[in-house]
A and B are shown apart, each in its own frame.
Chain A
Amino acid sequence: MAYLTDRKRAMGLGSAKSGTAHHWSMTISSVALLILLPLFVFTFGAALGGTYEEIVAYYARPFPAIVAALTILVSFKHFNDGVQTLLEDYVHGLAQKVSIVVMTCVSYGAAAVGIFAIARLAL
């Protein structure tokens, strides 16, 4: 028993079979971000540095507001999927479970705050 490797112990147990869905989810969000991020960088970049009145007027327009809301939503979903893989690689045991739960809460929490703020700004 002392000389059994990780692989030998795991063989025959099968996988959780959720890896494909996770990878596909990251593929979809990455392609979406490929379109959204350039739009966001150049709309947000144009707005940043303006006065309060300019910002309020700018984000009352539908295009910058929708781009910003979508970018925040998809980014945090993509981040949550990515950070889960990071934590699964480097953190183990109870700390792994706790950190994944915490980062999932942070991701969805921040996305909700961002979308709420943009909705209030835009409407």
Chain B
Amino acid sequence: MADVNRGNRPLSPHISIYRPQLTSMTSILTRITGNAMLITALLVVWWFLAASSGQGYFDVVNGILTSWFGDLVMCFSVLGLWYHTLAGVRHLIWDNAVMMDVPTAEKLGWACIGGSVVLTLITVIVV
């Protein structure tokens, strides 16, 4: 931290007294899903690398990605992907300085949560 004096002067409590709200939770979830999807992206790249390398390597990686555990990871990834996508749209809306009042922001938050579940179900059914 740039502040070398942290601890030398009195500070108000922050996280310790912070009440979780829909707006803050949906915000941090955007960051968590976005960064967690690195794992998914690396798995997808690995799968393409294996597919381009030949049958033997492909069967190994494809076996991992299409196993029950691979399916589980992919399902959560799709949920995270749609959530992050909808939350990103919310940011694009907010960038125009509209719909920023708390009731509307909370409605958009529920839309991100509900919408990502619906889109995930559609994806699982279609794919």
Nearest-neighbor residue (CB-CB) of A111 within chain B: B45
29 interchain pairs, CB-CB under 8 A: A3-B8, A5-B9, A6-B2, A27-B92, A33-B85, A37-B85, A42-B126, A44-B44, A45-B123, A45-B126, A45-B127, A52-B55, A55-B58, A59-B51, A72-B44, A72-B45, A79-B35, A79-B38, A83-B38, A86-B35, A92-B1, A93-B1, A110-B41, A111-B45, A114-B45, A114-B49, A118-B48, A120-B52, A121-B48
Nearest-Cβ distance from residue A70 to partner chain B, whole angstroms: 13
Of B5, B9, B31, B127, which is within 8 A of A48 by CB? B127
Nearest-Cβ distance from residue B100 to partner chain A, whole angstroms: 17
Question: Do the beta carbons of B88 and A30 come within 8 Å of each other?
Answer: yes
Q: Which residues of A contact B48 (CB under 8 A)?
A: 68, 72, 114, 117-118, 121
B interface residues, how many (CB within 8 angstroms)? 39
Q: In chain A, residues 35-86, which have Cβ atoms closer than 8 Å to a Cβ of chain B?
A: 37, 41-42, 44-46, 48-49, 52, 55-56, 59, 68, 72, 75-76, 79, 82-83, 86
20 new A-B contacts at CB < 8 Å, known A33-B85, A48-B66, A118-B48? A2-B8, A4-B5, A6-B3, A9-B2, A27-B95, A37-B85, A41-B123, A42-B127, A52-B55, A55-B62, A59-B51, A72-B48, A79-B38, A86-B31, A86-B35, A93-B1, A106-B38, A114-B48, A116-B49, A121-B52
A-B residue pairs, 4 tightest by C-beta: A45-B127, A117-B48, A114-B45, A117-B52
